[in-house]
Structure 1
Amino acid sequence: MQSTSARLSLHCGSDHLWSTFSTSHQVHTELPGHHKPINREEFRIAIICALPLEYDAVCLVFDEFWDEDGDPYGTAPGDANTYTTGRIGDQNVVLALLQRMGKTSAASAVASMKLSYTGLRQALLVGICGGVPQTQNGFDIMLGDVIISRTIVQYDFGKRYPDRFIRKQTTTEAQSNEFRGFTVMAETMRGRNKLRQATSRLLSQLQENASKSGCGTKYVYPGLARDKLFEPNYRHKHHESPSCVCKEYHDMTSPVCDEVLTASCSELGCSSKFLVPRARSIHSQSQEDPNTSNTVHMPTIHTGSIASGDTVMKSGVDRDIIAQKEGTIAFEMEAAGIWDEIPCLVIKGVSDYADSHKHSEWQDFAAATAAATASALLMAYSEKQRARLGQFSYYQFIDSRPYYPGS
């Protein structure tokens, strides 16, 4: 078996960097039995990303690419998608980057993908999302945490009456029987702790690979000090003596200036007096390495219902209303278009709190935590497939670490 060679399309800073690098070691333990597929029909797993930054992070967890010397598989007539093929661990995976965000684009892309890759059994939708600050059972959701779908709620599909909107019942379990067991185990303390440990190790490897490719600290954990949750009715706007339309602000329906749409909280003067205190302890989120200045971060993983729609949620008030009514813990834009095309498991890192203070600072790290979690789940899936062969478990080599309730 040839050594791992990973081709990356990485967006570092403001310039795209197309680079090729080889690693002298395997990201995962190389396992007997994996092989390069002879044709498209042999692929069983698809990973779908909506944004280039999500695709970049997923590429960093591939152990080997099958298309280093050109696309060996091609596509079926009528399929306009472009694919990346390779393996993660010993799972052959086809990776697709959507041409546009949203449900319609996702549904169209997956329908075309099924024309070419007729043997697909499961799709993983991997990327970033907006998080609801707290789960239904009262646990904090922090930036960089990972959300795994239990169900999908298409929250913007229904009927608008003069006095109300009534959503059509579209809640669904959007995963195959093969993967449903993993989400159930992720809801147990032992299963979640194992998945967190595996994800943390794979995230560290991803960060190392990114550093080798010239991306520096692109995927480094930004830190708790930069994880800021504002009260839901505290608007992202100019606060300090504004000379624009922001000075006419009276309530959440008042207009704000266009500059607000791209400016950061520090640029607008958003006050820390309106920050929401979080109950989750620092120790449960990260551990300081005494020998370096780096923070070793172990992302927390949550399972639950995900709200999917064609609107980017940027309202803390609306976020909380929908979350309370539907029992959702995250917002995203593609899952509702995929679930009726193919069994789908959504794995997304929390990059913002789905409010007006939404900013891009956490997007790369959140994409990395999602990619690492997807890789960990594929490793566990491989172990399940091979259990009858009596081969070792990847998880039995993970150091035992304490589990902190609520994390």
Structure 2
Amino acid sequence: MERRRLSHTDDAALPYHAKRRRTGFQQIGDDSIHDRYTVAWICALYIEMAAARAMLDEEHVDCPRQANDMNSYVLGSIKNHNVVIACLPTDQYGTNNAASVLSNMRRTFPNIEIGLMVGIGGGVPLKADIRLGDIVVGVRVMQYDLGKTLSSGFQRTGVPKIPDSTIRAVISNLRSRHELNGSRVPLILREKMGTYAAYSRPNEPDRLFLASYHHEDPASPCDECDLSKLETRKTRLSTDPAIYYGGVGSANTVMKDSTIRDQIARELDVLCFEMEAAGLMDIMPCLPIRGICDYSDSHKAKEWQRYAAATAAAYTYEFLELWRGDSQASYAGHQRPPPEHCIVSEHHEEILRSLNFEEIDARKSTIKAAHSKTCRWFLKHPDYISWASSQQMPHHHGFMWIRGKPGAGKSTIMKFIYSESKKKDRKHQSLTASFFFNAREVDTEDSENCFARCVISSSKGLAEITKVKQPRVQFIHESVRDFLIKDKGLHELWPELGPDWESVGHERLKLCCYSYFELVTTKKQIKEDHPVGYKLLLETNIYPFLEYASQYVLHHSDFAANTANQQSFLERFQTSVWIWVVNVFEKFQIRKYSPAAGLLYILADRGHSSLIRTILDCNG
């Protein structure tokens, strides 16, 4: 399942078509909404924010900010993490502005655990063979404009800033995966950015000029530069971005001089330059991730910026696949107990999280995205237009089937349609769900256990084995409960129940319980002076409903009092017989009722306030 639009406020929360499918964040005014976001994704440019937005598996609607928070957020989730994306204000860059954005974010979202500074940077092609589009992960940040001016020159006083051990542990894990299986960045780029042509690898040449050769006229393009001054580099066998780990130089100024670039790079041992990371490292655990868009020289150009932003975002996505964060978010101060609907909501989210597994979209990612302008004919095909019509929805219920010969492009077309539907999701706050069945490998296509694996995988988290003497498998029916109770499904099925259908339901349950209770007690000839004791208990296998009927008959009567007068019921209620039966099922002697206990005492002991009011009104 891919990208979804998630709403905090409407019935599409977690976020499906029908208002009955409520699973996500319901109460926008509840502080717990903000508490659920744990990952901060900071960008400096709108194109970086666009790349970050494209990486989201789900996009959530916005929620209220603190009064002193001037940021504008994009909310969503990647894998099991709720992510807050924020961008620096237009034309405002530098370490101080970045620090301000993160500080404001932490006021609104107090449980942020990690900051990710993701975007473009200028490479240092000195020791490493860095190319445009490559990725630099900052395992050390040096602020090179921090220092003091002396008679002998500028003395830097900045100290190295290192990401904390939890971040570096994930980096080690990810590097070990890359060592054996390679990076998933190319697959993620195709999957997440394949439909955005502007963010694909540019056709412009990757030119690195000698450090001694400067771009003279800022108004003229680099095409007019002397190509004989280009550095001689080996041709790479692959155009996939390479990933480098090392130092990052950070300052409030743009690095545009190759001579100074090399001087500082040698002194501080850095692989790229940027303008924000140093402002974040002292606030909380942070990791700078930079896509290389130029070589920090006077030949700067913008052709590679979008692609570089995309490669950095793709690496961040892969990083978050392994990032686990704290198992328990730290809540400062006194917390109110969550309302009942929030508990149900959290239970639903646990079920959803249980369906996730590592590299859940790896096989689907092997389907290549459609080339530019191909497959668009399908959107104009009469059959598709007819299928997309709302009038046809009752006939096909949203399912589309495409048949064709092997290799004809069925998977590519379906992936294209899915991507187009996701774009519409943003406008209409709707959901496009997909499930990819992989049949591209011999060992999975014809396996005898294929069907069994499908059933087990599909029911994961949705079935349980009951803990009784004769256990049985049963499916969790939370969605049925929501339909019948939370979303007034009963009222829609039986309008005659009236607005207070819950009380009507309790009245019916009361009658069922008391009828069963009277049937058994009459048949067994239970009277006040005829205790049945354990003989009745031994025969409860014949009357399996007796324990519930006796324990809950007054409970249902109390809740039914809103719509049905309970006076006649209480007048004929056999209190003494009820006491004998209830005491039989009570394991603790101290909790058993005295035979002389009155009905009013019993109601007070059980907290049935509506029935107490009924008796007092009658006696008054």
State whether TM-score is above 0.5: yes
Q: How does 1:225-304 map to 2 (within 5 A)?
A: 226-237=205-216, 260-266=217-223, 269-279=224-234, 281-283=235-237, 285-286=238-239, 298-304=240-246
Aligned match of 2:155 in 121, 145, 166? 166
Q: Is the 8 A contact 1:50 1:98 kept in 2?
A: yes
Residue equivalent to 2:172: 184
Q: Which runs of 5+ in 1 are unaligned?
A: 8-33, 211-216, 238-259, 287-297, 400-407
Partner of residue 30, structure 1:
none
Q: Which residue of 1 aligns with 2:463?
A: none
Q: Say if 2:32 is the partner of 1:46.
A: no
Q: In the alignment, what sits opposite 1:122?
A: 114
Contact 1:55 1:97 in 2 (8 A): yes
Which structure's residues are more often helix, by fraction? 2
1:197 CA drift (Å): 2.8
1:148-197 alpha-carbon deviations (Å, 9 max, x no partner): 11010000100122332111032110x23332112234555x53564x53
What residue in structure 1 maps to residue 141 of structure 2? 152
SS in 2 for 1:302: strand
Aligned equivalents of 1:153 and 1:51: distance in 2?
A: 22
The aligned residue for residue 291 of structure 2 is 349
Q: Is the 8 Å Cα contact of residues 148 and 347 (structure 1) preserved in structure 2?
A: yes
Q: Does 1:372 align with 2:314?
A: yes
- Partner-residue secondary structure (3-state), 2:189: helix
Partner of 2:190: 204
1:395 shift after superposition: 8.6
1:60 aligned counterpart, secondary structure = helix
Distance (whole Å) between structure 1 residues aligned to residue 112 and residue 84 of structure 2: 9
- The CA deviation at 1:46 is 0.7
**3-state SS of paired residue (1:261):** coil
Report how far residue 391 of structure 1 moved.
Answer: 7.3
Structure 2 residue aligned with 1:220: 200
Change (3 A) 1:299 1:41: same
SS in 2 for 1:394: coil
Question: What residue identity is the alignment partner of 1:235?
Answer: H
| Segment of structure 1 superposing worse, 389-398 or 86-95 | 389-398
| Higher Cα Rg, which structure | 2
Counterpart of 2:245, as a letter, is T
Question: 8 Å contact 2:174–2:322 — kept in the other structure?
Answer: no
Residue aligned with 1:169, SS: coil
- 1:19 matched residue in structure 2: none
* Aligned residue pair count: 320
1:87 is the counterpart of 2:73 = no
Q: How does 1:64-83 map to 2 (within 5 A)?
A: 64-67=58-61, 71=62, 73-83=63-73
The 5-angstrom pairing of residues 102-141 of structure 1 reads: 102-135=94-127, 139-141=128-130
Cα distance per residue 1:292-336 (max 9 Å; x no partner): xxxxxx211111010000110001101000100100000000001
> Could you tell me how far 1:397 is from its partner in structure 2?
5.2
Write the deviation string for residues 130-160 of structure 1: whole angstroms up to 9, x where unpaired. Answer: 000134xxx3000000111101000010012
TM-score, with length taken from structure 2:
0.48
The whole-number CA distance in structure 2 between the counterparts of 1:75 and 1:95 is: 14
Q: 149-158 vs 76-85, which deviates more?
A: 76-85
For 2:77 and 2:53, the matched residues in 1 are separated by 10
Query: 2:166 is matched by which residue type in structure 1?
Result: E
Q: 1:50 and 1:227, CA in 2 relative to 1: closer, same or farther beyond 3 A?
A: same
Aligned-pair identity (%): 32
Q: Distance in 2 between matches of 1:356 and 1:185?
A: 37
In 1, are the aligned partners of 2:2 and 2:57 still within 8 Å (CA)?
A: no
Q: Does 1:307 align with 2:262?
A: no
1:197–1:398: 8 Å Cα contact kept in structure 2?
no
Could you tell which deviates more after superposition, 35-44 or 334-343? Answer: 35-44
Shift of 1:394: 1.9
Residue 359 in structure 1 maps to residue 301 in structure 2: yes
Question: Aligned match of 1:97 in 81, 87, 99?
Answer: 87
Whole-angstrom CA distance in 1 between matches of 2:151 and 2:289: 36
**Contact conserved, 2:119 with 2:291, CA < 8 A, in 1?**
yes
1:394 aligns with 2:383: no
The letter for the 1-side match of 2:169 is G
1:89 Cα deviation after fit: 2.3
1:62 paired with 2:48, answer: no
- In structure 2, how many angstroms separate the alpha carbons of the residues matched to 1:98 and 1:112? 11
> Aligned partner of 2:108: which letter?
S
Identify if the C-alpha distance between structure 1 residues 85 and 380 changes in structure 2 by more than 3 Å, giving closer, same or farther: same
The alignment's C-alpha RMSD in Å is: 3.1
Alpha-carbon spacing, 1:384–1:40, altered in 2? closer, same or farther (3 Å): closer
Write the distance in 1 (CA, Å) between the matches of 2:55 and 2:260.
Answer: 35
1:38-79 residue CA offsets vs partner (Å, 9 max, x unmatched): 510111101000001111111111121111xxx2x2111211
Match for 2:222: what amino acid?
Answer: C
Q: Tell me the secondary structure at the aligned position of residue 354 of structure 1.
A: coil
For 2:120, what is the secondary structure of its paired residue? strand
Alignment CA distance shift 1:383-1:394 (3 Å)? farther
**Are the structure 2 counterparts of residues 60 and 151 from structure 1 closer, same or farther at C-alpha, using a change threshold of 3 Å?**
same
Q: Tell me which amino acid in the other structure corresponds to 1:367.
A: A
Amino acid at match of 1:368: A
> How much does 1:5 deviate?
4.1
The structure, 1 or 2, with the larger RCO (C-alpha pairs under 8 Å, 6+ apart) is 1
TM-score normalised according to structure 1 size: 0.72
Instruction: Name the counterpart of 1:339.
Output: 281
One-letter code of the match for 2:300? K
Q: Say which structure is richer in strand.
A: 1
Determine if contact 1:202/1:372 at 8 Å carries over to the other structure: yes
Q: Cα gap change, 1:78/1:200 in structure 2, threshold over 3 Å: closer, same or farther?
A: same
